[in-house]
């Protein structure tokens, strides 16, 4: 539900909604390739939902459809009760977009901008009149929030390690204090220790900021460490959604192979023996 502020700008009250995202009958096609065929999905507000599926099954296309970068052939997508393409008030569409943050697959930062300037890109877009000093304070705060040292703020992406670039990408996605965070393969390319640290960071931020997280990942350790539920994309649809235990109870061959294959079993064992600090017991 939107309400008006004194300046007449609409404000979205996300806490009014049980679901952050509802998708019904989504169809996406590129030429002869049918990617989604009647896909349904509900993402509960406040959960971390993992999205898994083979490469090319349409995980990124689904995310792009939700945030309005891909126009589906058919279907309905609601984010916090609103459908982007039917919002009649342009300022309400803008307010809805302001409430989500996105870290795209590959997580590219603008290479000619410093970390701080990258974080400020979405802020400048939504608050063009904000003064530079305040903008720098927000960037410094976001840098600290994602666990980067303060001296990372004036650096260019090429001067950072891969893990630091991921954190900077996350800081940019969090720039506008979103209610909904989209992460497309955020730990890809990180070493296992770096990936585990990143997983813990996401879990902590989600808990403290009451975020809903749409987390696309191939990383089984991430699923066990961070997700409340997991949705499985196969056969052009979400074929199952639930906790990992619930998914393990299904008969589906792809799900069984995925979670009960050698890598799945290793991730499950790692999770069971993890201490609260994330260190593995021997
Ligand atoms: N802009 C586009 N034009 C044409 N085809 C596209 C486009 N974007 C995606 N596709 C096709 O849609 C299908 C789904 O792609 P998508 O990127 O969503 O897969 P994915 O599940 O994210 O895979 P991965 O795990 O490798 O990232 C693929 O067959 C891809 O080639
Ligand atoms: Mg993808």
State the pLDDT at residue 147: 93
State the pLDDT at residue 7: 65
Q: In what order do the strands lie in the sheet with 48-52?
A: 100-103, 180-184, 212-216, 48-52, 229-234, 237-242
Q: Report H helices in 84-161.
A: 90-98, 115-126, 132-145
Rounded to the nearest angstrom, the distance between the alpha carbon of 119 and the centre of ligand 1 is 27
CB-based contacts of 160, cutoff 8 Å, min separation 6:
115, 152, 168
Rounded to the nearest angstrom, the distance between the alpha carbon of 251 and the centre of ligand 1 is 27
- Ligand closest to Cα of 52 equals 1
Q: What residue has token string 């749409």? A: 214
Cβ–Cβ under 8 Å, residues 200 and 225: yes
CA distance 112 to 282: 45
Q: Which residues form the pocket of ligand 1, taking CB atoms under 6 Å from any ligand atom?
A: 30, 33, 35, 53, 55-61, 105
User: How much is the CA Rg of the chain, to the nearest whole Å?
Assistant: 19
CB-based contacts of 22, cutoff 8 Å, min separation 6:
41, 42, 43, 76, 77, 78
State the pLDDT at residue 105: 86
- Report which secondary-structure segment, H or E, holds 8: none
The residue whose CB lies within 8 Å of the most ligand 1 atoms, and thus the one to mutate among 28, 29, 60, 186, is 60
Rounded to the nearest angstrom, the distance between the alpha carbon of 5 and the centre of ligand 2 is 38
Full pLDDT tens readout for the chain, 282 residues: 777 665 667 888 999 999 999 999 999 999 999 999 999 999 999 999 999 999 999 999 999 999 999 999 999 999 999 998 777 788 888 899 999 999 998 877 999 999 999 999 999 999 999 999 999 999 999 999 999 999 999 999 999 998 999 999 999 999 999 999 999 999 998 888 999 999 999 999 999 999 999 999 988 889 999 999 999 999 999 999 999 999 999 989 999 999 888 777 778 877 654 444 444 444
CA distance 99 to 165: 23
pTM of the model: 0.92
CA distance 168 to 142: 9
CB-based contacts of 127, cutoff 8 Å, min separation 6:
none
Tell me the backbone φ, ψ of residue 175, rounded to 5 degrees.
-55, -40
| Nearest-atom index, ligand 1, CA of 63 | 18
Rounded to the nearest angstrom, the distance between the alpha carbon of 218 and the centre of ligand 1 is 15
- Ligand closest to Cα of 234 equals 1
| Nearest-atom index, ligand 1, CA of 28 | 12
State the pLDDT at residue 278: 41
The residue whose CB lies within 8 Å of the most ligand 1 atoms, and thus the one to mutate among 27, 31, 35, 235, is 35
């Amino acid at each position: 539900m939107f309400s008006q502020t004194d300046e007449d700008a609409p404000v979205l009250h996300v806490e009014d909604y049980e679901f952050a995202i509802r998708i019904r009958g989504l169809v996406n096609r590129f030429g002869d390739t049918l990617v989604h065929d009647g896909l349904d999905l509900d993402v509960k507000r406040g959960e971390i939902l993992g999205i898994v599926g083979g490469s090319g099954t349409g995980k990124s296309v689904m995310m792009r459809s939700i945030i309005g970068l891909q126009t589906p052939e058919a279907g309905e997508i609601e984010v916090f009760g609103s459908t982007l393409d039917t919002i009649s008030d342009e300022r309400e569409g803008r307010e809805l977009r302001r409430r989500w943050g996105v870290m795209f697959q590959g997580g590219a930062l603008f290479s000619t901008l410093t970390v701080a300037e990258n974080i400020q890109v979405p802020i400048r877009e939504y608050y063009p009149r904000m003064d530079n000093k305040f903008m720098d304070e927000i960037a410094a705060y976001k840098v600290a929030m994602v666990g980067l040292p303060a001296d990372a703020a004036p650096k260019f992406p090429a001067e950072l390690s891969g893990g630091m670039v991921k954190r900077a990408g996350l800081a940019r996605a969090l720039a506008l204090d979103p209610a909904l965070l989209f992460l497309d393969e955020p730990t890809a390319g990180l070493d296992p220790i770096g990936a585990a640290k990143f997983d813990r960071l996401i879990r902590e931020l989600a808990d403290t900021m009451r975020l809903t997280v749409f987390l696309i990942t191939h990383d089984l350790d991430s699923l066990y460490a961070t997700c409340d539920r997991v949705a499985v994309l196969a056969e052009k649809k979400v074929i199952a959604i639930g906790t990992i235990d619930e998914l393990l109870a299904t008969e589906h061959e792809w799900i069984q192979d995925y979670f009960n294959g050698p890598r799945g079993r290793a991730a499950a064992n790692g999770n069971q023996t993890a201490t609260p600090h994330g260190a593995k017991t021997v």
